[in-house]
Amino acid sequence: MQNTVNSILRFRGTGLHSGRSISMEIRPASANFGIWFRRRDILIGDAMIPARWDMAEQSPLCTRIVNHAGVSVSTIEHVMAALAGCGVHNALIEIDGPEVPILDGSSAEFVRAILAGGLQSIHAPLHVFEVLRPIEVVRGDARASLVPSKRFHIDFEIDFDDAAIGVQRKALTLSNGTFVRELCDSRTFCRKADVESMHAQGLALGGTLENAVVVDGASVLNPGGLRHTDEAVRHKMLDAVGDLALAGAPIMGAYTGIRAGHATTNALLRALFTTPGAVRLIECAPEMLAHLPGRGVHASEIPAVA
The span from the CA of 91 to the CA of 83, in Å, is 9
Kindly write down the DSSP assignment for every residue of the chain, as one continuous string.
Answer: -EEEESS-EEEEEEBTTT--EEEEEEE---TT--EEEEETT--SS--EEE--GGGEE--SSS-EEE-TTS-EEE--HHHHHHHHHTT--BEEEEESSSB-B-TTSSSHHHHHHHHHH-EEEESS--EEEEE-S-EEEEETTEEEEEEE-SS-EEEEEEE-SSTTT-EEEEEEE--BTHIIIIITTPPPEEEHHHHHHHHHTT-STT--TTTSEEEETTEE-STT--SSTTHHHHHHHHHHHHHHGGGSS-EEEEEEEES--HHHHHHHHHHHHHSTTSEEEEEPPGGGGGGSBTTT--GGGS-TT-
**Mind listing the pLDDT tens digit for each residue in 255-302?**
999 999 999 999 999 999 999 999 999 999 888 888 888 877 878 888
Q: What is the pLDDT of residue 229?
A: 96
Q: In which band, very low, low, confident or very high, does the pLDDT at 110 lie, cut at 50, 70 and 90?
A: very high
- Give the rounded percent of residues in the chain with a pLDDT score beyond 70: 98
**143 vs 51, 126, 256, 266, 292, CA distance in Å?**
23, 30, 8, 11, 25
Percent of the chain with pLDDT over 90: 80
* More confidently predicted of 195 and 47: 47
pLDDT computed for residue 299 by the predictor: 80
262 classed as catalytic: yes
pLDDT of 96 above 70: yes
What is the structure's pLDDT at 5? 97
Nearest to 270 by CA among 71, 136, 168: 136
Q: Tell me the sheet residues that pair with 12.
A: 23
pLDDT band at 17 (very low <50, low <70, confident <90, very high): confident
So what's the pLDDT on residue 305?
A: 60
Alpha-carbon distance of 203 to 196, in angstroms, equals 9
Quick one: pLDDT band at residue 306, thresholds 50, 70, 90? Answer: low
Give 29-39 pLDDT, tens digit per residue.
999 999 999 99
Question: Of the listed 78, 153, 235, 262, which one is catalytic?
Answer: 262
64-82 pLDDT per residue, tens: 999 999 999 999 999 999 9
d(CA 267, CA 54): 10
Q: Which pLDDT score is estimated for 64?
A: 96
pLDDT per residue over 208-262, tens digit each? 888 889 999 999 999 999 999 999 999 999 999 999 999 999 999 999 999 999 9
